A and B are shown apart, each in its own frame.
Chain A
Amino acid sequence: EAGVTQSPTHLIKTRGQQATLRCSPISGHTSVYWYQQALGLGLQFLLWYDEGEERNRGNFPPRFSGRQFPNYSSELNVNALELEDSALYLCASSLGDSLAKNIQYFGAGTRLSVL
């Protein structure tokens, strides 16, 4: 069974550009989570989608946005890129949002570099 897949693996952009990151969850998983991990830092929660709806977002500006498609895959968009947005972006999926279905399985991440 395929795990969580993210694309692209690496992404290089310049300041002010837009970046689009993609995530395909494990088959059967309806929840998708996005995290930012800046170099040497921990995981910062970005967004959580379940059944196509945004359920929660972390403390990030509105230029970080995303969506979940009917097939449960997800996109993270970052507009007006800033140098500080350079980080590893991790996507995770889980069976659902209940407390008992809450194991998050992660993809390998997209490393975004903003020059």
Chain B
Amino acid sequence: AQKVTQAQTEISVVEKEDVTLDCVYETRDTTYYLFWYKQPPSGELVFLIRRNSFDEQNEISGRYSWNFQKSTSSFNFTITASQVVDSAVYFCALKDSNYQLIWGAGTKLIIKP
């Protein structure tokens, strides 16, 4: 069965610290997609990134970077030099042949000034 685990319920760091959000997934499919979304206090989920199972290259976008490792079934998200505006709930999700997005429980990130 498909499953996404975000073991960190809440993380609190001081501004400018680096922070990594963990995501571990389970699927029997060889073709699948992984996603990260951000949900600020306003409530709207914002799409951040999608990776497919055949592309294990790490990706960097400004202060954001993602580390996809099939060997450990992990798709971790790192924010470098965190800012207060990064405070939000971050969700990891998986989509495979089941067609439905399987969501993790979310990690609440608090960046203190």
Contacts and interface: CB of A to CB of B under 8 A. Distances in A.
Contacts of B97: 99
Interface string A74-115: 000000000000001010100001010011111111010000
A45 interface: yes
Contact of A104 (B44, B47, B96, B104): B47
A43 interface: yes
A49 to B, nearest CB: 13
A97 B62 CA distance: 31
B100 A45 contact: yes
Contact of B31 (A99, A105, A108): A99
A45 B95 CA distance: 13
B91 A102 contact: no
A106 B44 CA distance: 6
B95 A42 contact: no
Interface residues of A, number: 21
Contacts, number: 50
A71 interface: no
Interface of A: 33, 42-43, 45, 48, 55-56, 88, 90, 92, 97, 99, 102-109, 111
23 contacts: A42-B91, A42-B103, A42-B104, A45-B101, A45-B103, A88-B43, A90-B43, A90-B44, A97-B99, A99-B31, A99-B33, A99-B95, A99-B96, A99-B97, A99-B99, A102-B95, A104-B47, A106-B37, A106-B44, A106-B46, A108-B44, A109-B43, A111-B43
